[in-house]
Every structure is written in structure tokens, then in C-alpha cells.
Structure 1
């Protein structure tokens, strides 16, 4: 045999081996995906979400094992490595199997040879995702990634809102965690004509009370977290300052060695002693200037399994206004399918009161380990009833998992939501420095550029909001030429084009 014939025989053998292995993976994927979808089927009342849920089930089953060893072998045969199959899992695998059968000249088991799927099926999932993006955030021109801007209270008495829209904002956000119901109503009136998201706060854990004479803490310092502030003579026996939290339910998670973070991790401490009504904490990490514990400072308990209702009384009081104006309800601290059911039930009750025929979409804000673990179930529970989106609460996830894991978590969230055909919001703290002082850093630009992989990027409030919106819009528009979701677009290079006279020497 010639060298060419030997190479061809080796390629056929490699293709047949890959075909056998991937066919087994496909059969296992189909079995597992069908079982999962059967469990979901009863929760899906919107027929238009069935295909999305089925593809999500395929994706979860397909990615349960390590597929990396197959990728270079497929690439060497000129085939898809399956690295961008999220939007069409089963058709992508079937196309690879059909091509392998041709290359391997599979004839011994024709019943195991899969035909190429119709080409139009590969466009269906991305088309549904784009339509859902437009339905949630607005169909505003050809720009791929939308921009959502949080309206500040001063927009009520100024012409700031139309300026924000003119600068490039596609949709607007009202934060029900600040200001008053009167301001929310006024901001909604200002935002009329654009898609509006009303964000419910959820049960934010914050410092509630602090001893009046509590000193500034430093590295190695001690403080108590108590169920209630100690009074009288007992207070003099305490070895450290004392604080209480907004939710006493967290005490079940304050065991020895538990980590506590305050103000987005600026202070990090560990529980070193546990008593009946209080725990003693030791500061492990803090800037040299220290920190004074004040009421309202945000507290997180990384990796703690917190049993706190996601819908608070404050949320229920904000819901009537949100239901009158919102296209999207932002759902903070959602963690379980029951949480989703609670919110939808409250929305349905309020919809009857105000005679609203449809329910707003739900934006699932993923900010805890439990929410991350349950995300497929949350998506199906919400998407089976109403339009749904996912907000990657990156600051909260960084608090929970550390910055070293944030990148991988963001990527897996984006992949999962692509498979479910669910729009994603990239938030928060995008271009935070520019919002505050008008100056942009290289690191902030690189972070904002990553948001182009999502359907929407959210900007928070800041004195330089107009310049920041313009900058982000220009950035996203340029990136649209080079990238679609996770896939590079191979347009002509702009920097090294030959001149009409030919390349220079």
C-alpha cells in the first residue's frame, strides 16, 4: 500500500472508532435526557417552551462526562468539535455522527447510521433566543447585545431618562430596594415606551444593630454576631463588639469555621466560637485602615445553605406597582422551584386585582450556591409558566465562590442558558469606575467586552451614566462585527489588508 492509502485507511479506522464511541454517548444522552424531560413535562404550561426544555435536558445529559478527549480527534478529521453545540445539542451530535459514518465508510451496521439533520434545525434555537431577547429588552435596531440602565431618583425631576435612551440604552431598570413607591411610579412614567424591569430585593442579609460604642475593627479583631444585642451587666462580660443581622434564620448556618463576608468581601471573618445566642468571629482579611461595623452593611455567608423565603414582605408591598408597569420582574435571592411558585402565585393574585391579562417575565437573579445548583429547575419552573431570563449576579457569586472561580461559573451559566434558549443579563458592576469618575480602565473595558456574549448588559447608577452608556454602546457595536455569542465571526481582517497595489515589502 502507498503512504496515501495507508493514511486513508487510518482515517477510516479513526472515524469508525469515533462513530462507535459517540453513538454510545448519544444513546446514553437520549435515555437520560428523556427521563429528565419527563420529570419536567408537568411544569411546562407554555407549549413554546417545550423545545427549549428538551434541548436543555439534552445538554445536561451530554455534558455529564468529559468530552475533551474527543475534540482534537474530531478536529483532525475536519469535523465539529461540539464546543458550540449548546443551541442545538442533538442535531449537532447527529451531524457529526453522519459525517463520521461517511468518512469511515460504515456499511456493517446500517441501522446504526444516523442521517444528517435538516440544515434549518440549526437556526431554530438561535432564532428563538433572539426573539426572546427582543421581547424582554426591546427590538432596537441590529445591535446584538442590549443595554439596561438603572434609573436614579433624580431622573424624575430632570430630562435624564430621554438622554439615557438617546445615548444608547435599550431598556430601563427600577430598583425597588431603594427610594419610595412614589418615586418608582414616577420613574415608570418616565420610562414609558421602553421595556422596564422592576427588581424585587429579596431577603438581603445586612447588619441591623450595632453597639453604640463599637470600635473600628482591624486584622485579627473579634466581634460577635448575636440574635439580639446584649444589655445590662451581661454586656460588660463580652470580649468584643456586638452586632445583629436582619435575619435570625441565618444562625443555623453560623457553625464553627463558617465564613462571613461584609461589604462584598472587604471584611472576611471566621466563626471561632459558638454560644447559644451568639457567635464570636475573628477577622481574617481586612484593609489596613480597618472597618467600622455600621447598620446596613451587607453580609454574605459563602456556601451556606440558607433557609430564608425568597419573597419578603417588602417585595409583596412593591409588587402591585411592579405589576402595573413592569415588563420584567427581577427576582432576587431565588433558590428553589417553590420560590418561583410563590412569586408566580403572588403575581397571579395581583394580576386579577388590576385586571392584567398577562404576567410579566421573570428575571432569575442567580446569586447563591443553591440557586446555581438548582438553575435548570429554576429555568423550567419559571419558563414553563412565563417568559424567563437569567441575571448573572457576578458580585454576589464572587462573594460566594471567590474571584478565582468566577470566570468558570460565568461561562457555565452562559452555556446552560444558551442551551435553554434563555436570555442572559451580564451584571452588576459593569464599568463601575467610569460610572463614578468618568474614567475607564483597561480591565473594566475587558470585563464589559465579555458581556457581549450575553443578550443584555446592565449598568447601575452613577454621575457619569450618559458617557458610560455611549462608551458601552460603541464597544458592543464594534464587537458585534467579530463575535456572536461564543463564536468568532470570520469577517475580513481590518489591520493587515493588502492595498490595491499589493502588499508592501
Structure 2
């Protein structure tokens, strides 16, 4: 039997009109009440400021019942108003026969909002590609300096921006990398394949990254592990070198990321007597017979070899072959000690950055140092500290002049090892540290002359942006693009202020740095938080870069995880998606480009306008 739908009662329309008109008046008053605190002089900037303030005012109210009633009446439920808040509400009121009072606030329509967002995206990120509005940024390092073919393929297949992390290498290597990118572009142009595109360069300042300090070192047997298949059987040789000029026997990594090794042998040892195709055998520290296959004579002092089975080496082990050929293994490079912790353990976090980390002993629990001891001044009792991207969770139980005593609450697995140079996160502590460090100021001299945009790490407040602006002005580069990396809890709660400050800059954008951010806000909350950041940036008509662990498994192994494909496809919500380096980065770029093109063809956004995790400080008075 067909259901007969009755038209809504007249009072229903009146109720909706009254409720929505009152809501419009309230958010207008709220936005206008704070507008003078954020003066902007450019008309374009004022449009976005006013819309952002209106959006923030709207978020302060729970209008779920009103939204449901509007949807049932066949009108917009106000779920997609980020970019056009006041005008969007006014158009719904128009359908209800209500005229709104004039306001001093700017009220952008969808055409103006889209124009402003696209204009700012082009200024910061360059022009988009045909059929793909979302750009692709790729993190590059010195491994690609001499791989022009790879750079050309990256440029042809979708790389629009190159990111250089100033936390690694030096100006000399950065210069070589930029020259390599430009040479690849020139080569493509000469072949008529460049389409006139220029890859923009983002240089990411290291910022006050707080890491674990050095560990004490010890000499122990060196494990050389051969690659194994999923069933645990070796499937190829582990390649390395016999080297008469090497001071130590150690593991190394080739530019392609493959593990290799060097075995130091005495000078004048007679490497020239080794024949390609012959073998050397030895008894490892476990008294197991192992074989090295002679594969290539690289130079008079270096021979490439392959190890057939996992072995443990120590200094003095005899390598012996045919015709009385024999070599002794040279000194083993000292390795950091193993610092292993389990839930319930006590761990000391030393204030002295030069204090060597050590394992637990009968007299003391395990201990590590902190590379930025100033950060520890802001930590209080019962506040959490995470180590190595959240793999180890701790809480502060005791504070002394020498160290913080931590209780280990969780580890990734039954236990976890602490290594040097791993990140420390303080989600419960307000770290009043400047985002621009002394090292960053030195790096800015190079950045100002070579980069199109600069990324500021660990931003906490508008002052951090203004400090960077002043430093660049002194270097004559006030025009350079600014990217504020959102990776701390405080940056989340100051995002509105950061956005308004950025509207005064010639070129500005936000990067959602999901690695540290996930640790700060909790992995279970990351999806909600990053959605809210996207919405707030849309309200401010400000470009967004979606970063960290996008297609990371694919870039590292060549095979994507199913979940990361879905995650990468969501990147179409941003103006740019960043990929990290890996042996299979070209495959990752190709895959991401296809995903983004497909998503833009079926672009369907869903929004929630009320957020519980990212309440904004400093805009309105606390309720």
C-alpha cells in the first residue's frame, strides 16, 4: 500500500524560520564581537577571516534538532557550509520567506570561496595538473642526486613539489639535490616532455624536535641476516664487500635501501688472489659453517661477495678458501647497547643531553637522555611522555634535578627497544619553546635563496609564524610561501589563530603532519581531528597538505596495504598530498595520481560541523 505524505503543518515552517533566524543572529553577533581583535587590511583576507569566525561561532552551538528538522522539510541541513557560512544560512532562510538584517561581516558565496582557495593554492603549490586538482609532494634525499632517470620519471608521473628535510644533510647536499631536480626538468624540456611544468621546492625546517639522546656503545658480534621468504627460508644472497681499506666491519645500506655489509680485512692481504666464482668459508661465533661467494672484483682493495646463510661475526674470525687463501675479520664497529623496557618498568629520562643511555642494572633502572632538555622543564607529575612515535607509552612519576622518573605503561609488543634519535612527544605538557631554533635561522640563509616555500615544524602559536616572517624579511624573502605544520595538541587548539595570522601572508598553507599529531591527540582520535582541520581550513579558504605515512607500505615494499589505499584516496580532500621516500616511490606516485584522479571524478564530501576534540582557544570567551 502506498504511503500518503501529508504536507507539513504551517507552524512547522514558522518554527524553522524562527529557530534558524535566531541562530543566524547569534553567530553573527559572536563573530562580530571578536572581529576587531584580528585586524586584516587586504579585502581577500577579510573575507576569509569573517567566514572562519562565523564558522567557529556556528560550531559553538548544538543544533542537531534544527538540522534534522531542516532535512525533513527538504532544506539544507547546514552540513556543508564551511566555505560559505552566513550566505548559506541566509539562502535557507530565503526559502522560508525570512529576510536577514545587514551585517558588517563579509559573506562569500561558493564562487568567491572557490576562487580564493584555488588562488591561494596556486600561489603556494603551483598550478594543478589536468584532471587532478590535488598536487603530489615527494620527500627526496641525497640518494636520488645521481639518479636523473628516477627524477624524470617522478616528474612525468605526478610529482608537483619536492620536499627537502633540513633536519638531515647539509646545504651542500641540498644544493646538489635541487640542481639534480632542475637538470631532470631541463632534460624533459629538451625532449618535449616537460609540458612547461616547474617542480616547486619546499624546504622543511627541523624545528625543536625532541629526541632520545645517544646510547653507550659496546663491541659485540655483528649479525648479518640473509633475506628470508614468508616461510622463513633464505631466498637470495646477502651482498657485501671484503674491503682492505675499511677501518671496521659493519652493516651498511645501499641507496636503494637494501642491507649490505663490509668486512674489514688487513691491508696487503692478497685480495688479488681471489677468483670470481670461488668461495670463502668460515665458522661464525656460534660455530656454524658459513660461505661467502666471490661475485665481483670492484677494485684492487674491494671485492663484492654474497653470504648464503645468516652469520654472526667477530674480530679475528678466519675466512679461508682454495690455494691457502685466508683473511682475518677486522675490528667490529662498536654498536649502541640494547635498552629494552616492558610495561611496569621504570625508565629515567636524563636532563643532561650528553648522558649516555644505558640498560637496567642491579643498581639503576634503564636510562636515556633528551636532546632538548629545556622541554623537560614544562613536564609535571602524572603527565604522559611517548617515545618513538608512540611505540612506548610512559607517565611521569617522579621529578628530580637530574632526571624524570617514568613508569612504562605500554609497549608495541611484550617489550620494546629504545634507540637513539627517536622522537619524544609530550601530549599533556604545554611546551613553551620557540618553533624557530638557532639552527633553523642558519638554515634559512640557504632556504631564502633556493626554496619556493618553507615549512615550520612544531608550530604552537601565531608568534612562531611572525618570528619566521621577521627572519625571512631580514633575508629579503617576505614573498616566500609559509607552511605551518600542525603536529602538537597546542597547535590544534590555536589553529584558528594560526589561520587568521596566515591570511596576512602573501602565500600560506597548513600541513597536517599526522605522525606526531597521532601521538599527541591519540591514534583513535586522529580521523576526527584531521577532518576538523580540513573543515577549518576550508572555512578560511586556506590550502592544506595531507602528510605522513600516505602509501608508506607501497613506497617501502612495493605492495600497498588495503587500508592505506582507502586512506590515500581521502587525500582528494586536501590541496596536496605528501609521500615519503622509499625504494618504490615511483610506484607510489603513480598509484596516488590514479587514486586522486578517480576520487575527483566522484567527489562526494561528508561533513560534521561540531567537534569535541579541537575546541579553539583564544577566539571567544570561555562559556
TM-score between the two structures when normalised by the length of structure 2? 0.70
Secondary structure of the residue that 2:207 maps to in structure 1? Answer: coil
Structure 1: which 5+ runs fail to align?
488-505
Q: How many Å apart are 1:336 and its aligned residue?
A: 0.8
The 1-side partners of 2:404 and 2:427 are apart by 16
Which one has a larger percent helix, Structure 1 or Structure 2? Answer: 1
- Return closer, same or farther for 1:16/1:291 CA change in 2, 3 Å cut-off: same
Match of 1:267 among 387, 392, 410: 392
* 1:199-278 equivalences in 2 (<5 Å): 199-211=204-216, 215-228=339-352, 239-278=364-403
CA distance in 2: counterparts of 1:433 and 1:230, whole angstroms:
35
1:128 aligns with 2:145: no
Residue 170 of structure 1 pairs with residue 168 of structure 2:
no
CA contact (8 A) 1:46 1:385 kept: no
Partner of 1:26: 24
Name which of structure 1's ranges 247-256 and 12-21 shifts more when overlaid on structure 2.
247-256
Provide the C-alpha distance between the structure 1 equivalents of 2:203 and 2:453, rounded to a whole number of angstroms: 6
Supply the distance in 1 between the matched residues of 2:458 and 2:355 (Cα, whole angstroms). 30
CA distance, structure 2, for counterparts of residue 370 and residue 287 of structure 1: 26
Q: Find 2:147's aligned residue among 158, 172, 179.
A: 158
User: How far off is 1:7 after superposition?
Assistant: 4.3
Distance 1:343 1:126 in 2: 28
Q: Residue 409 of structure 2 is aligned with which of 269, 275, 284?
A: 284
Q: Which runs of 5+ in 2 are unaligned?
A: 183-197, 218-336, 608-623
Residues 322 and 19 (structure 1), Cα distance of their counterparts in 2 relative to 1, 3 Å cut: same
Where 1:208 maps in the other structure, the secondary structure is: coil
Does the aligned pair in 2 maintain the 1:45–1:385 contact within 8 Å?
Answer: no
Partner of 1:500: none
Q: Distance in 1 between matches of 2:597 and 2:548?
A: 20
**Superposed CA offset, 1:196-238 (max 9, x none):** 211111100001244556642223222101212779xxx9995
What CA deviation, in whole Å up to 9, does each residue of 1:5-33 have, x standing for no partner? x944x443212111111111111111111
Equivalenced residues, count: 463
- In the TM superposition, what is the alpha-carbon distance from 1:274 to its structure 2 partner? 2.2
Q: d(CA) in 2 for partners of 1:298 and 1:158?
A: 30
Bigger Cα displacement from structure 2, 220-229 vs 50-59: 220-229
Give the superposition deviation at 1:133: 1.7
Instruction: Name 1:49's counterpart in structure 2.
Output: 45
- Partners in 2 of 1:472 and 1:362 — Cα distance? 25
CA distance in 2, matches of 1:130, 1:448: 21
Q: Secondary structure at the match of 1:69?
A: helix
What is aligned with 1:99?
95
The structure having more radius of gyration, on CA atoms, is 2
Match of 2:137 among 133, 144, 148: 148
Contact 2:339/2:419, CA 8 A, preserved across alignment: no
Selected match of 1:402 from 488, 512, 522: 522
Contact 1:11–1:77 (CA<8 Å) still a contact in 2? no
Q: Is the 8 A contact 1:266 1:287 kept in 2?
A: yes
Residues 84, 108 of structure 2: 8 Å contact kept = no
Asked if structure 1 preserves the Cα contact closer than 8 Å seen for 2:480 and 2:507, the reply is: yes
Greater strand share, 1 or 2?
2
Give 3-state SS (helix, strand or coil) of 1:320's partner.
helix
Whole-Å separation in 2 of the counterparts to 1:323 and 1:151? 19
Could you tell me whether the CA contact under 8 Å between 1:46 and 1:386 is conserved in 2? no
Q: Cα distance, 1:288 vs. partner? A: 3.9
Show CA shifts across 1:87-142 (max 9, x none).
111110100111112xxxx6xxxx76899xxx993211012112222222221223
Q: Hey, what does 1:185 align to over in structure 2?
A: 175
Q: Aligned runs of 1:307-322 on 2, under 5 Å? A: 307-322=432-447
For 1:59-78, what aligned pairs fall within 5 Å after superposition? 59-78=55-74
In the alignment, which residue of structure 1 is the partner of 2:201? 196
- Alignment of 1:35 with 2:155, yes or no, is no
Distance 1:215 1:150 in 2: 31
Alignment of 1:412-427 (within 5 A): 412-427=532-547
Q: Residue deviations 1:290-347, cap 9 Å, x none?
A: 3333321111112310011110112111111111122211111111111111100001
State the shift of 1:80 in Å: 0.9
- CA separation of 1:281 and 1:146: change in aligned 2, threshold 3 A: same
Matched residue of 1:87: which SS? coil
Change (3 A) 1:486 1:187: farther
Shift of 1:46: 3.8
Q: Could you tell which deviates more after superposition, 222-231 or 308-317?
A: 222-231
- Identify if the C-alpha distance between structure 1 residues 51 and 365 changes in structure 2 by more than 3 Å, giving closer, same or farther: same
CA distance in 2, matches of 1:230, 1:468: 41
- C-alpha change, 1:230 and 1:406, in structure 2 (3 Å) is closer
The DSSP-based 3-state class of the residue aligned with 2:475 is helix
- 1 CA distance for matches of 2:606 and 2:160? 22
Distance across 1 between alignment mates of 2:421 and 2:339: 17
Q: Is the 8 A contact 1:210 1:293 kept in 2?
A: no
**Are the aligned partners of 1:453 and 1:486 in contact in 2 as well (CA < 8 Å)?**
no
Residue matched to 1:451: 571
- Indicate conservation of the 8 Å contact 1:449/1:479, yes or no: yes
TM-score (norm 1): 0.86
